[in-house]
Amino acid sequence: MLFWSVFSTAEAQVPVPAKCSPRLWETAQREGRATAIVEFCPRADLSGAAALSDKAEKGRYVYEALCAAADNPAQKALLRRLDELGLPHRSLVLVNAVVVEAPPAVLEEIAQSPVVCRLHADPPVRRPEPVRYNVQGTRGGPPMLAWGLSYMRADSVWALGINGQGVIIGGQDTGYDWDHFALRPNYAGWDGAAADHNYRWHDAIHALNPLNNDTTNLPTNNPCGLDVAEPCDDGGHGTHTMGTMAGLQDTSGNPIGVAPGARWIGCRNMERGWGSPSTYLECFEFFLAPTDLSGQNPDPARAPHVINNSWGCPPIEGCDPSNFALMDQAIENLRAAGIVVVVSAGNDGPACATVQNPAAIFEGSFSVGATDFNGQIAAFSSRGGVEIDSSGRPKPNVAAPGVAVYSSVPGNGYAFNSGTSMAGPHVVGLVALVISANPALAGQVEAIETIIEQSAVPAYDTVDCSGVAGTAHPNNTYGWGIVDAVRAVQLAQQWTGTAQPIRGEADNGLLLAPNPFSEFLRVQWKPGVARPTQLWVCDPLGRTVFAVENPSFPLEVPAHNWPSGVYWIATDAGAGAAAIKVGR
C-alpha cells in the first residue's frame, strides 16, 4: 500500500477521514502527529470457547483464535509498511489492533485500508483518586483495621481452610511495591529466596505522560522510571489495592487481604496516575497471555483467574460511545478465555446514572459499588443504570466494603483509603475464595459471577434509579447486595457445572448463562433489543420441554429433570438460537 512521506512538514487541513476518530484527527492536525489505536477487522470467532470446561483450554483456544484472526496478508502488509516508514508500533492481539504514532497523511492512508475497521484516539486517562470520607460511624467510632474482612466474613472462610490457595490474581494499576512486607510472600515471582519477574510483571508505561507537566522529558521524572523490569508503584494506589486482594498482614499481625493464600501478578497501566486506552489494553493483553520481560513468548497457561481494575476512563478524557466497543471487546475476549474482570463502579455518586465510564459500564464487567462499615452505600459510590450508551443496563453488580479501608502502601507502610477502588479488590479476593472452595469453577466466569450475586445479602435504598425501584432486588444502588464470603463459598461448594453454554448468544438478543447449580438455567436478553413474546426450549430430539409467553428477564428455566444432551433455546424475536449442554 502506498503511503505519503512521513517526513512531510506541511499537512493540508482536510475533513476527518472515514473510520478516523475526530479527536484523533484534530490532535494530528494540531500537533503534526498523534497516537492511534488501529482496529482491524474482522473479529475472531471465540464462540467455541464456551464448550470448553478447563480454564487452560479456554485460554489457549481464545489466544490461538485471536492470533489466527490477526494472521492475514493485508494486515501484515500494513504493519510491514509501518516498519519501512520507521514508525514503531505495538500489536494488541486481544482486540486485533496496533498502536502507532503517525502524522495525518499516514493516518489518512491507514484509514483507507479495507482491513482497518476504525482508528481510535489514545488520549490520557486518569484513575479515580481515593476519596476523603468521614469515617465516624454508629459502632463506637471509626472502624477497626481492615474491617471489611470480617464484615464480608472472609475470616470465617479462612477458618474452613479456604484462603485463595491455587488462584492467581492479576492487577493493573499504578504498579505495585512487590517487596512490601505484606505482598512479597504472595507475589508469584517470589520463591522465598529469589525473584523472577518473567510472566509475573509487565510495564505498559513507555513514555512520560504530558499531563504530568514535566519541565524536562527525562525518565527520572518518574520515581520508577520507564519500562521497568520489576514491579514498582509510582502512585501508591496499586499497592493499596493489592494488599486488600492478597496481602498478608501488617507489622502487628493484623490481616489485610481477603485471599491471603492467593498469588498475584501485576501490570503498570498509569504514569503517576495518568493512563490511556492503549496502556489499559496493553495490560489486558498481558493478562490474556503473560510474556517474559522482553514481551516475548506469550503463554496463556499463565493467565490469572481474575483481574482487578480500580480505574475509569471518562468521556472528557477520550472514552465515549464511539470507542466503547474496543474496550468492551477486550473484556468479552478475556471472559471467553475464562478470566473474571472485576471493575470499580466509580466515585461519581450519589446521583443516579453515574456508573458512566469504561470499564464499569460494560455487561461483561463485574462492577462493584462501595459501602461503609454500617452496610450503607457510600455517598461517592456511583449508581446505575448505565445511560451513557443508552442501554439502561443495571449496575453495579454487587457492593463491597469501600470506606476507610486499611491496606498496604509503598515503603512497608499502611494507610486508610476510601473509594470504589477499595471495594473492587474485596470482590477480587472473594473470587479467589470461591475458586479455592471449588477448583472446578476455575474458568467458569458466568458461574462465578452468579454465585457471588446470588449469595450477596440483599440491600435496599429509598432512591429509585433509571426506572428501577430502590426496593427492588437487584437495584441500581447495591446491585444484588453486599457480598458475603461464607454464603458464596457454600454455593460454590454445591456447584456441579452440569449445565454449560455451548453457544451462549443468538443472532437475536438471547444470552445464556449457567446457574451455579444444575436445577436452573439463567436466560438473559441483550439491552436495547426488542423483547420476544415467546420463548421455548427444545430437547435433542426437537421436542419442546419448556415454553413461556411474554418472558421477563433474567429468566430462570428449570432444568433439574432434563436428561443429558444439547438443548436449544429460541424465541420469536428474529433468527437464531442458543445452545446449552446438560450433562450428569
- For residue range 369-428, what is the model confidence (pLDDT) as tens digits? 999 999 999 999 999 999 998 889 999 999 999 999 999 999 999 999 999 999 999 999
Task: Determine the Cα–Cα distance for residues 362 and 397; give it in Å rounded to an integer.
Answer: 11
> Exposure of 215 by Cβ count < 10 A (0-12 exposed, 13-18 middle, 19+ buried)?
exposed
Q: Is the pLDDT at 103 greater than 90, yes or no?
A: yes
The alpha carbon of residue 200 and the mean position of all alpha carbons in its chain are separated, in whole angstroms, by 18
Outline where 32-186 has alpha helix (H).
55-70, 73-84, 104-111, 147-151, 154-158
More confident residue, 530 or 109: 109
Q: Can you name the residues that pair with 433 across neighbouring β-strands? A: none
Q: Is the Cα torsion angle 401, 405, 407, 409 positive or negative in sign? A: positive
Amino acid at 187: Y
**Looking only at Cα atoms, what is the longest distance across the chain?**
73
What average pLDDT does this structure show over 509-524? Answer: 55
DSSP state of 1: -
283 near 204, Cβ under 8 Å? yes
Distance CA 13, CA 31 (A): 12
11 pLDDT tier (thresholds 50, 70, 90)? very low
**Strand order, beta sheet including 89-92:** 89-92, 97-102, 34-40, 116-121
The model's pTM is: 0.85
Least confident of 87-96, 118-127, 434-443: 118-127
Q: What is the dihedral of CA 435, 439, 443, 447, to 10 degrees?
A: -60
Helix axes 324-336 and 55-70, enclosed angle (nearest 10): 140
Q: Which amino acid is at 362?
A: F
* Contact between residue 337 and residue 303 where contact means Cβ atoms under 8 Å apart: yes
DSSP string, 36-64: EEEEESSPP--GGGGG--SHHHHHHHHHH
Output the pLDDT for position 513.
47
- Exposed, middle or buried by CB within 10 Å (0-12, 13-18, 19+), for 218? exposed
Q: Give the pLDDT band (50/70/90) at residue 294.
A: very high
Distances (CA, A) of 329 to 90, 199, 202, 334: 18, 23, 21, 9
What average pLDDT does the segment 2-22 reach?
59
